[in-house]
């Protein structure tokens, strides 16, 4: 099984990322002494992975909010916002309605790691409704806060507030616009990702602006404040209050939490600089202080804090499949749940009818890495951009094949005949972001290259990082067997 602690710190200081890998749009709450966080799932299931911590430093996997995809939606599971209110836990989230647009929905549970009851969509505007948050006004009245996705139609992007019913799972009354983007400012075409907290008798609306994702991102984080929840709102003249720096780029979309000592911290995402977005947006954390004029200052205005190597802190990824269930860090595309069996140190994948391939995958934790897996008798290792975009080295009996799938169209890059029996090791390594070399090892032979290095630029998703996967392909009913999967960090200077 994989390690329970995903990151381990020993110096007692806040450190980023809190959980290595692709964890964008993070949300955090504290219930009692325990912190809980989740983040955007995108098009990967199970949706909305959960993690818990007692100190903001050491995090462990706690499953997922939705073990099975809610029936009403089929993709784009974005921006979950955890809320602890009135002795229960809620998660407001975004998903795309089957045959329709983006909606805000809500699910509830008795405890953060409990069974979540999905109540379905509660806000579906024609242009799309995304990035929900929750707040109570000065009288304690509950409100849903969200963004109308006008930028998807070339429009402005208002952030609204609308009253919630007492059960917090339905909207009521009329919506009120809080702020809207100013296209000629740093905000560009977007303000989004609202989060509201109170301090010193005022409301503070944290929000992100400009382009969120991909290699051309321009994201940053701003703040506005008001005496009343419904405004009027004043934007901080110092915006954006979180800017990129030499270590992190495109920071934004966060949630604040208060420690037992009364200190405020802010959890948000950013791309590690120099990785060309291949790791995706990682969850970073910094302290909030308050200046003499009552405005929040995050990490003293220096941008996101210290970058820690995820693989270096965890010793990498290792899964020997020693239990009887698949580790929670393995994911698959929504609507493509694999047929898996774990027993006796082996993961078995079976190709379902009607599929060209099937896989389980997990986030990469470092831009430079080496991954290996034992294959017995057949199976493949791949770098995954999405359900129909990947590059895979696979074995079928007496043949090895390196192939690229681009929007479902498959192309062979390299092929070689090999001995048809016995275990084989397959691997892939990257010393340069965006390029990977696949390899194989027969018995006690030395590792050999499987074709030429592969350019991954065409596989990179717009809004998430690359993943590494274990693959079964070929004819329906084919079986693939895997053991001793490992990923280690590589020094790009060597």
For 34-48, 73-87, 127-141, 365-379, which range has the lowest pLDDT when averaged over its residues? Answer: 365-379
Per-residue pLDDT band for 39 (boundaries 50, 70, 90) equals very high
Domain residue limits, the chain:
5-310, 316-489
Query: What confidence score (pLDDT) does residue 66 get?
Result: 98
Q: What is the mean pLDDT of residues 98-116?
A: 97
Whole-model pTM?
0.95
Query: What confidence score (pLDDT) does residue 202 get?
Result: 98
Give the whole-angstrom CA distance, residue 451 versus residue 473: 19
The answer on pLDDT for 25 being more than 80 is: yes
Q: Whose structure tokens read 């749009």? A: 25
Q: Whose structure tokens read 């200052």? A: 297
- CA separation, residue 261 to residues 33, 55, 257, 265, 300 (Å): 11, 12, 11, 11, 19
Query: What confidence score (pLDDT) does residue 273 get?
Result: 92
Per-residue pLDDT band for 422 (boundaries 50, 70, 90) equals confident
CATH topology of domain 5-310: Tachylectin-2; Chain A (2.115.10)
In this structure, what are the phi and psi dihedrals at residue 188, rounded to the nearest 5 degrees?
A: 60, -135
Q: What is the mean pLDDT of residues 481-487?
A: 97
The answer on pLDDT for 150 being more than 50 is: yes
Query: What confidence score (pLDDT) does residue 417 get?
Result: 96
Give the whole-angstrom CA distance, residue 383 versus residue 460: 10
Per-residue pLDDT band for 479 (boundaries 50, 70, 90) equals very high
Q: Residue 348, SS3?
A: strand
Q: What CATH number is given for 316-489 in this structure?
A: 2.60.120.200
Query: What confidence score (pLDDT) does residue 329 get?
Result: 95
Helix (H) or strand (E) holding 412: strand 409-417
Query: What confidence score (pLDDT) does residue 314 get?
Result: 54
The answer on pLDDT for 9 being more than 90 is: no
Residue 43 tokens read as: 């098009």
């Amino acid at each position: 099984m994989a390690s329970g602690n995903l990151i381990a710190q020993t110096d007692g200081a806040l450190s980023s990322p809190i959980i290595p890998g692709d964890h964008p749009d993070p949300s955090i709450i504290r219930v009692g002494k325990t912190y809980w966080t989740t983040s955007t799932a995108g098009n990967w299931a199970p949706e909305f992975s959960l993690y818990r911590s007692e100190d903001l430093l050491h995090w462990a996997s706690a499953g997922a909010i939705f073990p099975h995809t809610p029936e009403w939606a089929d993709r784009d599971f974005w921006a979950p916002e955890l809320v602890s209110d009135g002795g229960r836990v809620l998660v407001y989230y975004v998903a795309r309605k089957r045959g329709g647009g983006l909606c805000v929905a809500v699910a509830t549970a008795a405890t953060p790691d409990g069974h979540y009851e999905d109540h379905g969509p509660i806000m579906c505007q024609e242009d799309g409704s995304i990035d929900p948050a929750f707040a109570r006004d000065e009288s304690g009245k509950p409100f849903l806060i969200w963004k109308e996705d006008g930028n998807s139609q070339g429009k402005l992007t208002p952030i609204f507030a609308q009253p919630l019913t007492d059960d917090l799972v339905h909207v009521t009354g009329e919506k009120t616009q809080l702020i809207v983007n100013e296209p000629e400012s740093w905000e560009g075409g977007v303000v989004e990702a609202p989060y509201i907290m109170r301090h010193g008798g005022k409301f503070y609306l944290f929000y992100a602006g400009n382009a969120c994702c991909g290699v051309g991102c321009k994201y940053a984080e701003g703040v506005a404040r008001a005496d009343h929840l419904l405004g009027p709102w004043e934007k901080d003249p110092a915006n954006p209050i979180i800017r990129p720096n030499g270590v992190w780029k495109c920071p934004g979309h966060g949630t604040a939490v208060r420690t037992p000592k009364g200190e405020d911290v802010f959890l948000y995402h950013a791309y590690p600089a120099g990785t060309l977005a291949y790791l995706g947006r990682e969850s970073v954390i910094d302290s909030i202080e308050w200046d003499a004029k009552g405005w929040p200052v995050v990490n003293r205005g220096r941008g996101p804090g210290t970058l820690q190597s995820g693989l270096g802190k965890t010793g990498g990824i290792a899964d020997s499949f020693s239990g009887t269930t698949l580790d929670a860090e393995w994911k698959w595309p929504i609507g493509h749940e694999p047929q898996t069996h774990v027993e006796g140190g082996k993961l078995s994948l079976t190709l379902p009818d009607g599929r060209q391939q099937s896989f389980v995958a997990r986030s990469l934790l470092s831009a430079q890495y080496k991954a290996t897996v034992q294959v017995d008798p057949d199976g493949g290792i791949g770098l995954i951009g999405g359900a129909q975009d990947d590059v895979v080295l696979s074995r079928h009996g007496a043949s090895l094949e390196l192939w690229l799938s681009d929007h479902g169209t498959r192309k062979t890059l390299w092929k070689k005949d090999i001995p048809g029996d016995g275990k084989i090791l397959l691997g892939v390594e990257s010393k340069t972001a965006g390029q990977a070399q696949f390899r194989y090892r027969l018995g006690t032979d030395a590792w050999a290259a499987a074709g030429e290095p592969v350019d991954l630029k065409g596989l990179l998703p717009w809004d998430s990082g690359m993943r590494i996967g274990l693959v079964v392909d070929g004819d329906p009913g084919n079986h693939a067997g895997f053991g001793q999967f490992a990923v280690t960090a590589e020094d790009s200077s060597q």
